[in-house]
Amino acid sequence: MIQGREKLVGLYEPWRVWCLYWLTYLDQRGFGTIVTSGFRDLNEQKVLYDEWRAGRRRLPAAAPGKSAHNYGLAIDVWASNGQQAALMTFLREAGGETVRGDPPHIQYPGSRRYLGS
Protein backbone atom coordinates (compact mmCIF):
# COMPACT_ATOMS: atom_id res chain seq x y z
CA MET A 1 0.00 0.00 0.00
CA ILE A 2 1.32 3.42 -0.95
CA GLN A 3 2.13 5.44 2.17
CA GLY A 4 1.29 9.14 1.92
CA ARG A 5 -1.20 8.53 -0.89
CA GLU A 6 -3.24 11.52 0.36
CA LYS A 7 -0.38 13.79 -0.79
CA LEU A 8 -1.43 13.08 -4.39
CA VAL A 9 -4.51 15.27 -3.83
CA GLY A 10 -4.15 18.62 -5.59
CA LEU A 11 -1.92 17.35 -8.38
CA TYR A 12 -2.66 18.10 -12.03
CA GLU A 13 -5.12 15.29 -12.80
CA PRO A 14 -3.25 13.52 -15.64
CA TRP A 15 -0.10 13.62 -13.49
CA ARG A 16 -1.98 12.32 -10.43
CA VAL A 17 -3.30 9.38 -12.46
CA TRP A 18 0.21 8.64 -13.81
CA CYS A 19 1.71 8.78 -10.30
CA LEU A 20 -0.97 6.57 -8.82
CA TYR A 21 -0.60 3.98 -11.58
CA TRP A 22 3.20 3.69 -11.41
CA LEU A 23 3.47 3.96 -7.62
CA THR A 24 0.90 1.17 -7.26
CA TYR A 25 2.83 -0.91 -9.80
CA LEU A 26 6.11 -0.38 -7.93
CA ASP A 27 4.54 -0.89 -4.52
CA GLN A 28 3.17 -4.26 -5.66
CA ARG A 29 6.71 -5.22 -6.63
CA GLY A 30 8.15 -4.58 -3.19
CA PHE A 31 9.43 -1.01 -3.35
CA GLY A 32 7.22 0.15 -0.47
CA THR A 33 6.61 3.60 -1.94
CA ILE A 34 6.27 6.54 0.46
CA VAL A 35 5.03 9.88 -0.90
CA THR A 36 6.36 12.67 1.31
CA SER A 37 5.27 15.69 -0.72
CA GLY A 38 2.89 16.63 -3.54
CA PHE A 39 1.28 20.01 -4.21
CA ARG A 40 2.78 22.86 -2.18
CA ASP A 41 1.46 26.38 -1.98
CA LEU A 42 3.87 29.30 -2.31
CA ASN A 43 4.05 29.84 1.47
CA GLU A 44 5.08 26.22 2.09
CA GLN A 45 7.64 26.52 -0.71
CA LYS A 46 9.09 29.70 0.79
CA VAL A 47 9.61 28.00 4.16
CA LEU A 48 11.44 25.07 2.51
CA TYR A 49 13.48 27.39 0.28
CA ASP A 50 14.50 29.61 3.21
CA GLU A 51 15.47 26.56 5.29
CA TRP A 52 17.56 25.17 2.42
CA ARG A 53 19.33 28.50 1.85
CA ALA A 54 20.07 28.73 5.59
CA GLY A 55 21.61 25.23 5.53
CA ARG A 56 18.88 23.63 7.66
CA ARG A 57 17.74 21.23 4.89
CA ARG A 58 19.77 18.53 3.21
CA LEU A 59 17.55 18.33 0.12
CA PRO A 60 17.33 21.32 -2.22
CA ALA A 61 14.22 23.45 -2.56
CA ALA A 62 13.44 25.80 -5.43
CA ALA A 63 12.34 29.37 -4.92
CA PRO A 64 8.58 29.90 -4.62
CA GLY A 65 7.00 29.79 -8.06
CA LYS A 66 10.00 27.91 -9.52
CA SER A 67 9.05 24.50 -8.13
CA ALA A 68 6.88 22.04 -10.05
CA HIS A 69 5.28 21.28 -6.66
CA ASN A 70 3.67 24.73 -6.74
CA TYR A 71 1.68 23.75 -9.82
CA GLY A 72 0.76 20.20 -8.82
CA LEU A 73 3.35 18.80 -11.22
CA ALA A 74 5.74 17.01 -8.84
CA ILE A 75 5.93 14.56 -5.99
CA ASP A 76 8.68 13.45 -3.65
CA VAL A 77 8.69 9.67 -3.22
CA TRP A 78 10.96 7.28 -1.35
CA ALA A 79 11.46 3.53 -1.59
CA SER A 80 11.21 1.92 1.84
CA ASN A 81 13.17 -1.11 0.59
CA GLY A 82 16.36 0.95 0.19
CA GLN A 83 16.26 0.87 -3.62
CA GLN A 84 15.82 4.62 -4.16
CA ALA A 85 18.03 4.81 -7.24
CA ALA A 86 16.19 1.90 -8.87
CA LEU A 87 12.81 3.47 -8.03
CA MET A 88 13.77 6.78 -9.62
CA THR A 89 15.33 5.11 -12.67
CA PHE A 90 12.10 3.23 -13.24
CA LEU A 91 9.95 6.37 -12.88
CA ARG A 92 12.24 8.30 -15.23
CA GLU A 93 12.12 5.51 -17.81
CA ALA A 94 8.31 5.43 -17.45
CA GLY A 95 8.24 9.09 -18.52
CA GLY A 96 8.78 11.19 -15.40
CA GLU A 97 11.46 13.88 -15.13
CA THR A 98 14.03 13.76 -12.34
CA VAL A 99 16.13 16.59 -10.91
CA ARG A 100 19.82 16.02 -10.22
CA GLY A 101 20.67 16.26 -6.52
CA ASP A 102 17.07 15.71 -5.36
CA PRO A 103 16.73 11.92 -4.91
CA PRO A 104 12.99 11.69 -4.15
CA HIS A 105 11.78 14.27 -6.70
CA ILE A 106 9.88 13.22 -9.84
CA GLN A 107 7.97 15.70 -11.97
CA TYR A 108 5.72 15.99 -14.98
CA PRO A 109 7.68 15.79 -18.25
CA GLY A 110 8.67 19.23 -19.54
CA SER A 111 8.25 20.96 -16.18
CA ARG A 112 11.90 22.03 -16.03
CA ARG A 113 11.65 23.78 -19.39
CA TYR A 114 8.34 25.45 -18.44
CA LEU A 115 9.63 26.70 -15.09
CA GLY A 116 13.03 27.75 -16.41
CA SER A 117 14.86 25.72 -13.79
The CATH number assigned to the domain holding 24 equals: 3.30.1380.10
Question: pTM of the prediction?
Answer: 0.94
pLDDT single digits (tens) 1-27: 899 999 999 999 999 999 999 999 999
The tally of domains found in the chain comes to: 1
Among positive and negative, which fits the CA dihedral 2, 106, 49, 7?
Answer: negative
Range of the domain at 17: 5-115
Judge whether residue 63 has pLDDT over 70: yes
